[in-house]
Structure 1
Amino acid sequence: MKLYADRVPTAVRQLITDLLVVLWVYLSIRVALWIHDVVLKLAVPGQKLESAGSGIADNLAEAGSKVGRVPVVGDDLTKPFTGAADAARSLADAGHQQQEWVDQLALILPLMALAVPLALVLFLWLPLRLRWIRRASVALAVRDEPAGRDLLALRALASRPLSELAKLGPDIAQSWRAGDAAAVDALAELELKRLGLRRSRV
């Protein structure tokens, strides 16, 4: 498997691109973690509200139970404490719900922040990189074989711009069809150069 080109300019470009992609993914993950931490801080008011509401509800319930022991009027005196305790529990529930919403946002927002960078890497950079690796590996496997060089020459004839082919001579296609070794080598070299590979193993 060929990961990088033989020719220095192409190899340097590939290496820099790979490093930039790794840096891009790393920074995207760091940003997503930062968003997660920032969003989680929004849960602090909910935590305080839940804690305060629960504490007030417990205190009111305890006070109501003590007041309820008063003979004759104990039940009547307990009702306001019970109502206030229920209201405090409602506040505690609201604080708990707010924390649940924040927890969901702390999961969704970082995923959304990661989605675009990772999609660019997975659907743009990675397919191009894998395609080059596959083509370069095949080219390496066939470049030193006569039939393989003929295939590389055919690939160059089919894919390279006419301006590049014309530089090899006006009758380059005819020479290739005739099996001219120099023409085949020139076309194969053109295709290898496009892939950033050398003519033969060093």
Structure 2
Amino acid sequence: MRSRWVPYATTPGRLVWQLVSDVLVIIWTVIWVMVGAAVHSAVSTIAAVGRQLNDGAAGVSENLDSAGNRADDVPLIGDSLAGPLRAASEAALDIAGAGHSLDTTASWLAWVLALAVAAPPVLALLMPWLFLRLRFARRKWTVVTLASTAAGEQLLALRALANRPLAKLAAVSTDPVGAWRQQDRVAIRGLAALELRSSGIRAAGIRWDG
């Protein structure tokens, strides 16, 4: 994980935290995807009822219409028999249409409800996690790139003078500002290492210039 392109820290503490956060995000996402799938499955049962109603009513309508056509052949009372059968066939066809509408609506609603249930909690955690990871990756790329040049190393040391605690600066040099002004390479490299470590990068993994 020493490459500047890998979005992970090389300091143990931050690396562990990043890996733990990755696992938590994955678990959280899987849980809510399963919840969404359960909602989709539950609503889809309504769509299945609609399909069964459509298929059954369409079959009844076809049989009634066929019976009406045969009733026409009955002498004298053929028209009287065929009329109610055709009316019943049309009613069954209307029921089939309602079943088809229920199937279509429930199928669409199953996806909408599944996304409505699963997406908000997933995005609520995923978006901040992604933002922090991208920000870390950008910072890592910047500081590793700076550390590869003498001028960048001095800039990192200057940032350390401005941002790091006094105790850590004193541990590098008794006069860190003077050492930086005098371009003391050892002190500058120590200060730059402080800034790298604050970004989650171990100085031991850096190819220093010179």
TM-score range, shorter chain: 0.7 to 0.9
Q: Is the 8 A contact 2:161 2:169 kept in 1?
A: no
By how many angstroms is 1:46 displaced?
1.3
Tell me the distance in 2 between the aligned counterparts of 1:76 and 1:172. Answer: 113
- The aligned counterpart of 1:168 is 169
By how many angstroms is 1:9 displaced?
1.0
Structure 1 residues 59 and 152: alpha-carbon distance in aligned structure 2, compared to 1, 3 A threshold? same
Structure 2-normalised TM-score? 0.78
Question: Which residue among 4, 18, 30 is the counterpart of 2:34?
Answer: 30
Question: Which residue among 59, 63, 78 is the counterpart of 1:74?
Answer: 78
Q: Is the 8 A contact 1:144 1:200 kept in 2?
A: no
Identity of aligned residues (%): 35
Q: Please, which runs of 5 or more residues in structure 1 have no aligned partner?
A: none
By how many angstroms is 1:176 displaced?
6.9
By how many angstroms is 1:179 displaced?
4.2
Aligned residues: 198
- The aligned counterpart of 1:178 is 181
The answer on 1:56 being equivalent to 2:23 is no
- How big is each residue's C-alpha offset from its partner over 1:47-97, in whole Å with a ceiling of 9 and x where there is no partner? 232223122212221222222112233223221111111111111111110
- How big is each residue's C-alpha offset from its partner over 1:89-147, in whole Å with a ceiling of 9 and x where there is no partner? 11111111000011101222222234224533553211211221222133223325432
Structure 1 residues 173 and 113: alpha-carbon distance in aligned structure 2, compared to 1, 3 A threshold? farther
Q: Please, which runs of 5 or more residues in structure 2 have no aligned partner?
A: none
- The aligned counterpart of 2:20 is 16
Tell me the distance in 2 between the aligned counterparts of 1:176 and 1:39. Answer: 71
- The aligned counterpart of 1:116 is 120
- The alignment yields a C-alpha RMSD, in angstroms, of 2.8
The answer on 1:147 being equivalent to 2:145 is no
Question: Which residue among 68, 80, 87 is the counterpart of 1:83?
Answer: 87
Tell me the distance in 2 between the aligned counterparts of 1:70 and 1:61. Answer: 15
By how many angstroms is 1:196 displaced?
1.8
Structure 1 residues 176 and 86: alpha-carbon distance in aligned structure 2, compared to 1, 3 A threshold? farther
Tell me the distance in 2 between the aligned counterparts of 1:168 and 1:32. Answer: 52
Amino acid at match of 1:56: V
The answer on 1:131 being equivalent to 2:135 is yes
**Runs of 4+ more than 6 Å apart:** none
Q: Is the 8 A contact 2:180 2:187 kept in 1?
A: no
Q: Is the 8 A contact 1:165 1:172 kept in 2?
A: no
Tell me the distance in 2 between the aligned counterparts of 1:152 and 1:125. Answer: 26
